[in-house]
Structure 1
């Protein structure tokens, strides 16, 4: 009798353990790598770039935000599982190194220097460096920037590219965000804002700036946007690459590009081939 009771108790314990396993964090474990282990994923984005990543009264919107959501969904996360975190240009490597974010989708150009500190998936978009100038300005080539006040954001590769290769006598002014550069351009404090044409197109299309600015139309460099991940995370890299390829094939990439860049009549490049593979 005692043996039977002991056996029954043991059986009950096993059933309870199995039930707890099934109801406990099992579904969390099915979430893709790149999350915090609690069914959440933190993604770094820009919050002040219209058309790409912008904070609005209804949440975050833009092409990069769409890419981030699509990738998160393919990794096994619902939209409610996503926590977006601002990723300023100068802080992107630090955010990844510290583990503050799981990955970054924030107009993050793939460069050899950055690849020494972080890894990338993608690229998912090809932009070109250009200039945003006042509508009545006559800057027609990069060399025209010599002696002019050139604005970009701290940590961006764009301004240094101009200083080092195109207009060494340009007076570089670096601000914390593109919005500050736009204010300076509108007031005359700076003569040009340089960054990727995709970013500039988003600003030029804003209602308050219509007719005030124009793109110079210069392809000063090629900028392949990648998704930044922690250095050496090949598993996450492969999963994100698969998500990006699916996004292009099922038409979601094209749909998002047209939605966010169409109003600016921006001539975008086709989705680039994936090159960041381990």
Structure 2
């Protein structure tokens, strides 16, 4: 009888531990005193994993600021790569607490996730080779090979509205497009001016490329969160408002985009 009672007690303990473990996963993207945040790994000036394994860029700095305001110091952050085509899945599956990855707010995405912010406004532009004189307006793309990233709003904007006859090639990352541009496999790369400026200002790329200087769309970057999480949205918006009011936003913009000469817009009004 004693053995039977001991076995029952042990089973009860196992069940209790299992229930506790399941419960700890309810707060998706965070685990006690740690938090997982989605960023880009291949966007200089915004989100870049450096050779030494650290992370740099405006989005990274914004994410660190927000995380600190939520109670997570930098050493408690786990960074997870968030490619354009995977951002919604990462959020919905609970793989990350939130995503800060040049994530433009639009109606299609709002059906799947919610956004805090916006925290940055940029415009879609084109990057071409420095010696290219054939592309000066968006219509010139109709006879050209254009590269962008799978899942980005930029590619669809050009193909559906601006230059339907462009030979659009969608690759996995902007760095792949840039290699194609340098090797003359494509004629232009399109995405947000902030992203293009980050690439063009890298030491190994200086003098090779130029921005055409177009404003083909307004891109409001937001912080992607799980649909319906109004509590987290409110906390992040409060953190973003503080970041602007205490001067940190301006400091981070100059720090990350200043070297490229990029002309940024003022901090956008954060939505309610």
Q: State TM-score, norm by structure 1.
A: 0.86
Tell me whether 1:245 sits opposite 2:251 in the alignment: no
Query: Is the contact between residue 34 and residue 41 of structure 1 (CA under 8 Å) also seen in structure 2?
Result: no
Counterpart of 2:117 in structure 1 is: 122
Looking at structure 2, the residues matched to 159 and 77 of structure 1 have their Cα atoms a distance apart, in angstroms, of 36
Counterpart of 2:30 in structure 1 is: 36
Looking at structure 1, the residues matched to 55 and 30 of structure 2 have their Cα atoms a distance apart, in angstroms, of 21
Bigger Cα Rg = 1
RMSD over aligned Cα, in angstroms? 1.2
Q: Which blocks of at least 5 consecutive residues in structure 2 are unaligned?
A: 1-23
Q: How many residues align?
A: 245
Tell me whether 1:136 sits opposite 2:131 in the alignment: yes
Deviations 1:6-59 (A, max 9, x none): xxxxxxxxxxxxxxxxxxxxxxx9xxx775241111000001100000011150
Instruction: Map residues 1-278 of structure 1 onto 2, 5 A cutoff.
Output: 36-56=30-50, 57=52, 59-138=54-133, 139-275=135-271, 277=272
Counterpart of 2:3 in structure 1 is: none
Query: Is the contact between residue 28 and residue 95 of structure 2 (CA under 8 Å) also seen in structure 1?
Result: no
Looking at structure 2, the residues matched to 145 and 238 of structure 1 have their Cα atoms a distance apart, in angstroms, of 42
Looking at structure 2, the residues matched to 100 and 217 of structure 1 have their Cα atoms a distance apart, in angstroms, of 37
- The runs of at least 4 aligned residues of structure 1 exceeding 4 Å deviation read none
Looking at structure 2, the residues matched to 185 and 77 of structure 1 have their Cα atoms a distance apart, in angstroms, of 40
What is the SS of the residue equivalent to 2:30? coil
**TM superposition shift of 1:137:** 1.0
